[in-house]
Structure 1
């Protein structure tokens, strides 16, 4: 066995989706030199040849049953299409120019991306009705964004059966990376569930694989001036002006004091915070008050999604026939307060505060022992 044959056999053994049992000829004819002929004009690339081979049917069937689609899709070829990125066409043309083009997941990934965006938006908006718009967009991206889809594809075990080709970026299109190809697999699988089952089945698929993950929303919320934001928010809800009260303290005259400040609106405590100074404790208390408001979550048994009204029958939303589920829309939460903003930029304008806001801030800085 020559060097080229050993290289092909070694590369094929390293790739999990290339099995010599289902290949027609190993090594391929491209790696062999005929007697009396010179070397071919192009050097045979064993890794590209191995990557262009289709995965075995047993691997595709195992993957389909692993993700719960064994009885959903009619054949393993559908799973192979869902795991074939459009960038693979270029590699296929280089290695097999005389064969027809393979089916890719371009349309499936586009449909699945739209479905996942719909499911995530209604889930986050119904669960957290007071969430600011920017934080809601960040939460949707954290649930079904490209990074999450790529990580989910790795957890599903889609890497051995993924067919793609790395391509550099140009002026008209961006580069295709491994994470981009992996992210298309969960999107395509969501589209398959929608095509072969229903919209509600696709939503249940997304809930099990995407929405079961915990997202840290507190880390996504940052306030430039929590005190001013709290003043405008309390005034918007028609509540009494907030007042800061010193709840506890220790070591005032030492080098490491600790102060605990609470912010009250009438008899209701909005939040509390601690710090090594009164200013720091008040800042954290105002931030805690805003987080308690914006991160108020709707109880799970009261969350109703708009897509639950579609019938749970086979077919898409235009062809499915069956009884529709009742839907009671929840009350819309108030949007976040934009204070001191200039137009649409959202940047505070120096000196844009009114006298009433300054007086309210003075009241907020009065500590009640």
Structure 2
């Protein structure tokens, strides 16, 4: 699965880069990309989806501790919520307790984590925290997968990382596990309910991107797209990344790693379902030949109902006298293909016992094999 392109800038002509297409999160809507630009924008690591736009330091009142995210203020229009005011927001206090965040984690930082960029002159947003948290998540999830599944092909590895920390996966964490609510009510609704102005900072605030308008409504796109509009899934995912960034700053690496293990890596992802083999027999033959093993042979192990309308065959895939995998099916061909697929998955999903990741104190280098030769 490769999408071809090439990038050169000669005589004012620019063409797109060679990009390797990968699978997206299983929760993502399945639709083919419309053009090469959409492909290059869609298939990225989690940290690459963040909008890497940095605020100029000259426009900010920078605190002495540059990692104190809650104390940044814009010189022209400051909307920073102080620690005293953050303690008056019930949803912020409840979220802090629900996630069992340490006492040194400031409530004002949690408020900042739920505020996405919504326009120029607004310094109190989670844009920089999102970039920081995306790199932290990508590092710990990548080292976990590389240490526990060292034979994964790069395309499957990218898909597995996206299944853990992609926008749709982190949206599920923020919305359904953590209970983060979005600020979807209008100003009129807030006025009629006599809601204090401070309470809006306890919910996720962002500029929603409308991709599918309501029925019988015609959408007229403006001449210039607002760069601050983001999708619902990306907004919730950015809140998770920002909260993790704040935890790293306030509590350090050990607490952050434990938090990611409990809330992100503890989620079940079926990595075997990410594989898709077009010709498993040929691929298995090449794999065995590369490792100096006998070519695969299929032998019938058992059968039942051969003359009925629902027969069952069980075959085994052997390399010499070694049984690699078995497969069953309603025909010999189906059972044969299944045995090939299971043999390949048994190879690629090899998992060492008691694997250590590089961030562990007791980690020592290990050699598993020569790496990916083909897939």
| Cα distance in 2, alignment partners of residues 337 and 252 from structure 1 | 40
| Cα distance in 1, alignment partners of residues 368 and 252 from structure 2 | 28
The aligned residue for residue 101 of structure 2 is 69
Matches within 5 A, 1:253-264: 253-264=307-318
Matches within 5 A, 1:144-163: 144-154=165-175, 155-160=177-182, 161-163=203-205
The aligned residue for residue 121 of structure 1 is 142
Number of equivalenced pairs: 258
Residue among 222, 243, 254 paired with 1:200: 254
The runs of at least 4 aligned residues of structure 1 exceeding 4 Å deviation read 167-175
Residue among 294, 305, 311 paired with 2:348: 294
Residue among 93, 117, 120 paired with 1:86: 117
Give the superposition deviation at 1:85. 0.8
| Cα distance in 2, alignment partners of residues 327 and 295 from structure 1 | 21
Give the superposition deviation at 1:57. 2.5
The aligned residue for residue 307 of structure 1 is 359
| Cα distance in 1, alignment partners of residues 325 and 254 from structure 2 | 39
Structure 2 stretches lacking a partner, 5+ long:
1-84, 183-202, 211-220
- 1:37-79 CA-partner distances (Å, limit 9, x unpaired): xxxxxxxxxxxxxxxxx984232122112112241313x2111
Residue among 257, 269, 281 paired with 1:227: 281
| Cα distance in 1, alignment partners of residues 207 and 228 from structure 2 | 13
The aligned residue for residue 58 of structure 1 is 90
Q: Give TM-score, length-normalised by structure 1.
A: 0.65
Which of the pair has more CA radius of gyration?
1
| Cα distance in 2, alignment partners of residues 293 and 60 from structure 1 | 47
Give the superposition deviation at 1:124. 0.6
Give the superposition deviation at 1:337. 4.4
Higher strand share: 2
The aligned residue for residue 338 of structure 1 is 374
| SS of 1:307 mapped into structure 2 | coil
The aligned residue for residue 93 of structure 1 is none
| Cα distance in 2, alignment partners of residues 165 and 174 from structure 1 | 6
Task: Say if 1:261 and 1:285, in contact at 8 Å, map to a contact too.
Answer: yes
| SS of 1:230 mapped into structure 2 | helix
Structure 1 stretches lacking a partner, 5+ long:
1-53, 91-99, 309-324, 340-369
Matches within 5 A, 1:90-101: 101=122
Task: Say if 2:208 and 2:232, in contact at 8 Å, map to a contact too.
Answer: yes
Give the superposition deviation at 1:102. 5.2
More displaced, 112-121 or 289-298? Answer: 289-298
| SS of 1:131 mapped into structure 2 | coil
More displaced, 219-228 or 170-179? Answer: 170-179
1:164 aligns with 2:185: no
Task: Say if 2:297 and 2:319, in contact at 8 Å, map to a contact too.
Answer: yes
| SS of 1:298 mapped into structure 2 | coil
Task: Say if 2:102 and 2:251, in contact at 8 Å, map to a contact too.
Answer: no
The aligned residue for residue 131 of structure 2 is 110
Give the superposition deviation at 1:326. 3.8
Give the superposition deviation at 1:171. 5.5
The aligned residue for residue 75 of structure 2 is none
C-alpha change, 1:134 and 1:178, in structure 2 (3 Å) is: same
| Cα distance in 1, alignment partners of residues 362 and 328 from structure 2 | 47
Task: Say if 2:303 and 2:311, in contact at 8 Å, map to a contact too.
Answer: yes
Matches within 5 A, 1:4-15: none
Task: Say if 2:105 and 2:251, in contact at 8 Å, map to a contact too.
Answer: no
C-alpha change, 1:115 and 1:266, in structure 2 (3 Å) is: same
Task: Say if 1:130 and 1:335, in contact at 8 Å, map to a contact too.
Answer: yes
Residue among 217, 222, 243 paired with 1:189: 243
| SS of 2:159 mapped into structure 1 | helix
C-alpha change, 1:144 and 1:136, in structure 2 (3 Å) is: same
Give the superposition deviation at 1:207. 0.6
C-alpha change, 1:177 and 1:104, in structure 2 (3 Å) is: same
Question: Alpha carbon RMSD of aligned pairs, Å?
Answer: 2.3
